Amino acid sequence: MYSELPDFIEIRQSEETGRGIWTQSPIRAGSAIFVTKPYAAASSSSKLTSYCSYCFEQTGMNGLRRCTKCRVTHYCDFNCQTNDWAIHKHECASLQNWSKAAPSSDYPPPSDAIRCLSRMLWKMRKQGPYARQTREIASMQSHRSSLKPSAYESHTYLAHSLVQYLGLSSPGDMEQYSLSSAADLVDTISRFVTNTFTVTDPTLIPLGAAVSPVVALINHSCDPNAVVVFPRVSTDPKVQEPLMQVIAIRDIYPGEELCSCYIFLQAFVLTSYIDATLPTNLRQQALNETYNFECNCHLCTSTGLDPRASLNCPKNCGGSCPLPSDEHALVRCSKCKSVVRSVDAALDALRVGQEGLDKANNLQFEDPGKSIRLTTNLIPILTSAGFPPSAHPLLGLTRLHQQLLTSSFPNPLTQEHLDETIHTATTNVAGLTALFREGHPVLALALAELGKLLAVDEPSPRTTNKSVIYPPSGLPRLKLAYETLLRARKMLLIGFGVTNEGGQVGKEVREMIVALEKEIGVFRQGIKNVLEDTPKLKA
């Protein structure tokens, strides 16, 4: 089994982490450890009309071919539609039956989880129970025997929806999917929930759900040495996207286990297990409730100060303090040992910030105006309470605020809106830099976003300083954009792979760097010409 694994990778059993994969050879940062196509994948409902249901290429509704029978799935062209037909012919019938049974014409199709799980089962049925990939699916971890009560509702919902979608009316109907009992059904759902990955675009925006038994072998660490990304860089028509690539984000030495983790923030839930920007207690809570295990990585077991749960020194000495709690109200700066006096204010800001972040996240698409008002009001509250950019929930609010500002650029763009977006993006980069190593794809993309914003043409460039230090204007801004994009490209080459040229974003950044080099050169030459043409003043 697991023929996609290279020869230098071996599967082992560990008392601490269970089954996982280890390397027998050194791996350089930025190397693609292995590449595989998901066993099954399904796009989210919101992406069905704008992304191909087979290759996940974004084309837009006008450029896609819609299935004329189910009228739900869309494809790039005839080739993608033909390639998907072996599975879609079953999916097509289920979608039609689902639509007929729907209470109204605008009733949505099943979730990406239900459709991905169904695609997985149809493929297993087609291949048979003894096929290599079927056995790989059956070998995935299941937590049926130790499900938490909090998971009962979601598993029950998935089971009922799956039975309805597949059109199963009796226990005998389940046997065609090698499900001989309700326990087998729950096992299958548990394997799916525990091992599902998120298909993303090259900027880590979620597109749907995917299952890959070989990638599921990778165990979790909140400080991973590898990530799972979808760079989408191949121009070979024979290469069938989406391709999952496991990339080393630091040098990995022989005898080390490969570990991955969630790689994005609250607004974008991604790959593998958990959001590493959360404090340890919240990460452990989510891991325990969803995956039924306690993480013992060095990040979770460290007794040092966690920048995710910290405050700035009250004396502004440059040091940090642990975030106070009801049990540990007396906290001191790690550098100058000053005591935090405003404990209640910090705890109140933490509570209000968490509630506001949850609400703003829920409103970001339904009512973006209200969401941005929330982030605008909450960020100063947490900042004034002493939260650094890396602390939760300030980092989540900052990231969401940047996203909302970017998506609401006015037409025409104003200097004030652009500068505020740059300020927010800079704060976001500062927070992520304190949490992630150089080359982490999240930090790389954040730097690329900041560099692109700095490179935007200024609507009203400042002719005088006016006491504004940041962001600069004119040539200094272009130079800062150039330097930021150079740093971003260096990280993108690691986070999305050197041989991938940093993925699609890496290629875009490279083109921007070349364009900025020319623009800065023209800018400097223009200044030189003006100086040469200006007569020297006589004393």
For the chain, the structural domain boundaries read: 9-37+212-298, 43-195, 305-408, 438-539
Average the pLDDT over 145-169 and give the result. Answer: 80
Question: Could you say which of 3.40.50.12780, 2.170.270.10, 3.10.310.50, 3.40.190.10 is the CATH number of the domain covering 9-37+212-298?
Answer: 2.170.270.10
| Contact between 114 and 193 (Cβ < 8 Å) | no
> What's the average model confidence in pLDDT over 449-472?
86
pLDDT band of 530, cuts 50, 70, 90: low
The pLDDT tens digits of the residues spanning 356-369 come to 999 999 999 999 99
Which token pair is 483? 């330097």
Output the pTM of the full model: 0.91
pLDDT at 377: 97
* Alpha carbons 27 and 24: distance in angstroms, whole number: 9
First vs last C-alpha separation in the chain: 86
Give the Cβ contact number of residue 452 at 10 Å.
19
Per-residue HEC secondary structure of 201-232 comes to CCCCCEEEEEECCCHHHCEECCCCCEEEECCC
Largest CA distance in the chain: 102
pLDDT given for residue 467 in this prediction = 64
pLDDT greater than 90 at residue 11: yes
Query: What is residue 489's predicted lDDT score, i.e. its pLDDT?
Result: 97
DSSP state at residue 287: H
pLDDT at residue 352 in the model: 97
* Model pLDDT for residues 331-365, shown as the tens digit of each residue: 999 999 999 988 999 999 999 999 999 999 999 99
Residue 470: is its pLDDT beyond 70? Answer: yes
User: How many helices (H) and strands (E) would you count in the chain?
Assistant: 15, 14
